[in-house]
Structure 1
Amino acid sequence: MKLKFAAKASDLIGEKTDCLVVFANSNKRLPTAAASVNKATGGAITDLIKGGDLGTELGSHVLLHNPKGIAAKRLLIVFADKPKLGDRAFMGLAKDAVACCLTAGVNSYSLCLEDISVEDRCIQWQVRIFTETFIKATYRFDTYKSKKPPVPPAVKLTYMVAHKASVTAVKRGLAIGEAIGYGSSLARDLGNTPPNICNPSYLSKQAKAMARGEQSLSVKVLGEKEMDALGMHSLLSVGRGSVQPSQLIVMDYRGGKKGDAPHAIVGKGITFDSGGISLKPGASMDEMKYDMCGAAAVFGALQSVMALNLPINLVCVVAAAENMPSADASRPGDIVTSMSGKTIEILNTDAEGRLVLCDALTYVQKFKPKTIIDLATLTGAVIGALGNEASGLFSNDDGFAKTLINAGQLSGDRVWQLPLWDDYAKQLKSPFADIANLGGPGAGTITAACFLAEFVKDQTWAHLDIAGTAWIKGANKGATGTPVGLLTEYLMGL
């Protein structure tokens, strides 16, 4: 579905649109926009409230056809629960309101968000969230269907404000919402693409396509020979069993001042994870195409940064490989040498994400970045700890961690910080190598993070384990685009 967005200062009563959306609550005094529409329609909104037709739950709604007294063809009244909402409540309201709009099935909507007050959040943030929500709700992935559904006509969403002074803030919120929304869509597209198509070389082609015609972005792809010369034998060990060559994709965005140290984001790009010799169970193995969702989010965040022309320098690195069993695949008990020089005993070939990330983390340090964030669908253990509601956050800098927690709260991509204590790192000791790639059955998500921490000792670094948030299971399975919003929010804050 093609979407068009606009912002303007105008009178709601005379707005010619297929559907006018207003928000009401159960207070005796209606908010400004709802009150003016209520007056023009002869008390239609208050009649619905008094009669109990509107409901009293956040997001409950009534759609009126051909309302008298206003120019709109339809009037959608959405219940906003109370005059001041928390940010999570507003995100829920936006989701409900968008669902109501799409049910109406028309081509143009106009709405006023000024009636809704959100604690510690401005109109720019509200517009951004609503725009992201609309884009995400209309996302479809039908590329590989032989019979595609008909393409619906373009839909236009116009944000109405009472005063021209608010238009600038609304337009900025709209620009941010579009950048993050479409960045998330790119991440979802990459995650949903089947693994027989989305392999390491496919990701390299996507990176080069992004850089085409963009002066601020350069792309370099390291093949297996280049990585071997650099000593990246940990990363290379993962792809040994696959016919698909492993690749390290480096996307260098230069939007800031020349000479300024960049920030870095590193993504795990395992385009399919069979587990290797430590083979996974067959049930739901198709979902292991999502093991590159960390890499997908790096692509999505970079697209958002470029859309917003952020004045920063940013290095994005994707460690891309396919983990398959074969006669040449890595075995449990193998010892490999990483780019850092540390030797690693492979106890389980299904703990492969950390093996590609450690070399990528070592490589990105040659850019002397101010900060490094890596993100990966790293462990099933994080789902046992946090479920599907939050990503696991680890950092060697508590101030940096707090910044990312705040970015997660603002964007809706929430994270929860877990410890990086030396007590856990002891579980990674090996009698034969410098470190083992597995820390035993307990605290699996923590020991995985402790493994990565060994390779970023002198860096301001954070790790996001997104295994519980990167995709949805079940009949409506699909990639979510998490955490493009968090990354973009953090990078905007720089």
Structure 2
Amino acid sequence: MDFFIKSGSPEKQRSACIIIGIFATRRLSGPAEQIDSVSDGYLSALLRRGNIEGEIGQILFLQQIPGVLSERVLLVGCGKERELNESNYQKIIQKTMQTLNESGTLEAICFLSELHINGKDNYWAIRQGIEITKDTLYSFDKFKSQKTKKRRALHKLTFITQSRKQLSKAELAVTHGKAISSGIKACKDLTNMPANICTPLYLAEQAQQLAEQHEKISVSILDQHALKDLKMHSYLAVAQGSSNPAYLSLLHYKGGETAQKPIILIGKGVTFDSGGLSLKGSAAMDEMKYDMAGAAAVYGTLKAIADLNLPLNVIGILAGAENMPAGNAYRPGDILTTMSGQTVEVLNTDAEGRLVLCDVLTYVERFDPECVIDIATLTGACIGALGHNISALLTPHNGLAHELLKASQQAGDKAWQLPMDDEYQSQLESPFADMNNLGGNAAGTITAACFLSRFTAKYTWAHLDIAGTAWRPAGPNKGATGRPVALLTQFLINRSDDQQ
């Protein structure tokens, strides 16, 4: 599917379908008023008869409207004009694309990006239109023997901008939207893979393939022997109960000057998390294949920035491991010596992500990073705190927090900053080691970040807990969301000044 930009009035567009909005209480949007004018009140008459009220989710297909060149016009309910916000716009685009896809429409011209959305501009509306369209039409049927039969697929969507002066900004929205959507799809595909296929080795192979596809990406893979030589004993302890060995995959994107310090993204890549000897309950354990969604998000983000050719140096790290129970698995009560030399008492083997990440956070010191961001499905407590809509952001560095929160708002990929006050550190105290790996039941997301912070003293660092946002847990859309690829890519776009 491809996306285009043009300017012009709705009645002059020659297409299979044009899409225009109708507001609640039967009010016409600007493009609808133009069509109503050239058709001698055709739309006004429909509204007076009550054919469509304009509530969000209402749809009405019209054919052969007088004075209009397009074959069909799709009227889309947009709700109350003053209440048209980011969330409602997303619902409108989703419903529109579902309708077009089900109707077998091959191409369409969309005037919805001209709507006035509270606090947003045309660039945002077009880019979100692309990202929501791709998300709405996404399906993962790789392992279905009988593929879903589809009608003719929508393959061309054109967004309208109000004037030619806005064309360059609108074209940038298309460029960004297409690259981010591609990265999100790559993240979803990887996260949705079953754990019997998506092993730590598979993550390494995907990293190698991505490097082969992009000239500015190179890859290096550290196997268990290399990790042992580096004394990454905490990382290896998590993996030792599995027959699938750990692999640490590093994607080096070199788009900036040689002297430019790299931005490092670390993704937790636990390809299946049984909980280890602290075994999880069987309910929804199938979803624990998505415990590598952080690594998948890093992979998708590297793909997006390579497509955009951003002038930055970025290192994306996929920290692959599998947490399984076995006779040689690590145990509650074990004491591990991390790469940093600090010791950790294991209170629960299901708090394994931090044990993988802490060694990687020490390892990346050698790159003298500009900043480090780790992305992980780290705590169930995060779902309890923020649900499935907002990711948790934790960092002691206010400047970096501001950048990430700004990017989250720009991208529509929301995050919320939680505190990391020193008082929480006391929950990690252990009578037998430098710290424990659990922190107790209270403030679990915060104490997990406090644990990680003990390995980040030498650089600027932030932690994103995506346990609630990386996966839709139920319903027909169950599966990976591709978050927070949009947030991370926006952050890097901002850092590169490749902005609107």
Give TM-score, length-normalised by structure 1: 0.96
Greater shift, 273-282 or 150-159, is seen at: 150-159
SS in structure 1 opposite 2:51? coil
Q: Any idea what the Cα deviations from partners look like across 1:123-163, whole Å, max 9, x if unmatched?
A: 11111000001111111100011111246445210113353
CA distance in 1, matches of 2:217, 2:277: 38
**Residues 17 and 168 from structure 1, CA distance in 2 versus in 1: closer, same or farther, beyond 3 angstroms?**
same
**Residues 121 and 446 from structure 1, CA distance in 2 versus in 1: closer, same or farther, beyond 3 angstroms?**
same
Greater shift, 205-214 or 146-155, is seen at: 146-155
**Residues 89 and 29 from structure 1, CA distance in 2 versus in 1: closer, same or farther, beyond 3 angstroms?**
closer
How much has 1:50 moved relative to structure 2?
2.9
Maintained 8 Å contact 2:22/2:54: no
CA distance in 1, matches of 2:396, 2:380: 22
How much has 1:11 moved relative to structure 2?
4.0
What does residue 408 of structure 1 align with? Answer: 408
Maintained 8 Å contact 1:4/1:154: no
What does residue 280 of structure 2 align with? Answer: 280
Maintained 8 Å contact 1:317/1:364: no
How much has 1:21 moved relative to structure 2?
0.4
What does residue 174 of structure 1 align with? Answer: 174
How much has 1:193 moved relative to structure 2?
0.5
SS in structure 1 opposite 2:316? strand
What does residue 498 of structure 2 align with? Answer: none
Query: Structure 1 residue 389 and structure 2 residue 389: aligned?
Result: yes
How much has 1:18 moved relative to structure 2?
1.5
What does residue 135 of structure 1 align with? Answer: 134
Maintained 8 Å contact 1:269/1:293: yes
What does residue 86 of structure 1 align with? Answer: 85
How much has 1:222 moved relative to structure 2?
0.3
What does residue 431 of structure 2 align with? Answer: 431
- 1:38 maps to a residue whose letter is D
For the aligned residue pairs, the C-alpha RMSD in angstroms reads 1.8
How much has 1:78 moved relative to structure 2?
1.7
How much has 1:39 moved relative to structure 2?
1.7
Maintained 8 Å contact 2:24/2:55: no
Maintained 8 Å contact 1:45/1:77: no
Greater shift, 453-462 or 268-277, is seen at: 453-462
Query: Structure 1 residue 111 and structure 2 residue 110: aligned?
Result: yes
Maintained 8 Å contact 1:23/1:115: no
Maintained 8 Å contact 2:24/2:81: yes
What does residue 73 of structure 1 align with? Answer: 71
How much has 1:56 moved relative to structure 2?
3.9
What does residue 163 of structure 1 align with? Answer: 163
Query: Structure 1 residue 478 and structure 2 residue 479: aligned?
Result: yes
CA distance in 1, matches of 2:113, 2:348: 55
**Residues 466 and 58 from structure 1, CA distance in 2 versus in 1: closer, same or farther, beyond 3 angstroms?**
same
CA distance in 2, matches of 1:104, 1:178: 24
What does residue 44 of structure 1 align with? Answer: 42
Q: Any idea what the Cα deviations from partners look like across 1:221-272, whole Å, max 9, x if unmatched?
A: 0001111111111100000001111011111101111110111111000000
Greater shift, 211-220 or 289-298, is seen at: 211-220
**Residues 350 and 114 from structure 1, CA distance in 2 versus in 1: closer, same or farther, beyond 3 angstroms?**
closer
What does residue 253 of structure 2 align with? Answer: 253
CA distance in 2, matches of 1:161, 1:387: 36
- 1:491 maps to a residue whose letter is L
**Residues 115 and 213 from structure 1, CA distance in 2 versus in 1: closer, same or farther, beyond 3 angstroms?**
closer
How much has 1:423 moved relative to structure 2?
1.3
Maintained 8 Å contact 2:365/2:458: no
- Percent of aligned positions with the same letter in both sequences? 42
**Residues 398 and 51 from structure 1, CA distance in 2 versus in 1: closer, same or farther, beyond 3 angstroms?**
farther
How much has 1:119 moved relative to structure 2?
3.2
CA distance in 2, matches of 1:344, 1:77: 61
How much has 1:362 moved relative to structure 2?
1.1
- 1:325 maps to a residue whose letter is P
How much has 1:435 moved relative to structure 2?
1.1
SS in structure 2 opposite 1:88? helix
Give TM-score, length-normalised by structure 2: 0.94
How much has 1:361 moved relative to structure 2?
1.1
What does residue 55 of structure 1 align with? Answer: 53
Query: Structure 1 residue 225 and structure 2 residue 225: aligned?
Result: yes
Maintained 8 Å contact 2:18/2:72: yes
CA distance in 1, matches of 2:25, 2:407: 33
Greater shift, 20-29 or 410-419, is seen at: 20-29
- 1:480 maps to a residue whose letter is T
How much has 1:458 moved relative to structure 2?
3.1
How much has 1:196 moved relative to structure 2?
0.3
SS in structure 1 opposite 2:75? strand
CA distance in 1, matches of 2:178, 2:307: 9
Greater shift, 87-96 or 411-420, is seen at: 87-96
Structure 2, unmatched stretches of 5+, are 496-500
CA distance in 1, matches of 2:292, 2:213: 26
Number of matched pairs:
492
- 1:71 maps to a residue whose letter is L
Maintained 8 Å contact 2:114/2:162: no
CA distance in 1, matches of 2:108, 2:317: 40
Maintained 8 Å contact 1:21/1:112: yes
- 2:442 maps to a residue whose letter is G
CA distance in 2, matches of 1:402, 1:59: 35
Maintained 8 Å contact 2:105/2:153: no
What does residue 308 of structure 1 align with? Answer: 308
Maintained 8 Å contact 1:84/1:117: no
- 1:17 maps to a residue whose letter is S
How much has 1:27 moved relative to structure 2?
8.3
CA distance in 2, matches of 1:402, 1:231: 35
CA distance in 2, matches of 1:281, 1:427: 25
**Residues 29 and 143 from structure 1, CA distance in 2 versus in 1: closer, same or farther, beyond 3 angstroms?**
closer
For residues 235-274 of structure 1, the aligned pairs below 5 Å read 235-274=235-274
- 2:492 maps to a residue whose letter is L
SS in structure 1 opposite 2:325? coil
CA distance in 1, matches of 2:106, 2:376: 39
- 1:413 maps to a residue whose letter is D
What does residue 122 of structure 1 align with? Answer: 121
- 1:484 maps to a residue whose letter is V
How much has 1:340 moved relative to structure 2?
1.1
How much has 1:114 moved relative to structure 2?
5.3
Q: Any idea what the Cα deviations from partners look like across 1:155-176, whole Å, max 9, x if unmatched?
A: 2101133533222222111111
CA distance in 2, matches of 1:329, 1:28: 65
SS in structure 2 opposite 1:269? strand
CA distance in 2, matches of 1:413, 1:214: 26
CA distance in 1, matches of 2:105, 2:154: 10
What does residue 144 of structure 2 align with? Answer: 145
CA distance in 1, matches of 2:102, 2:93: 14
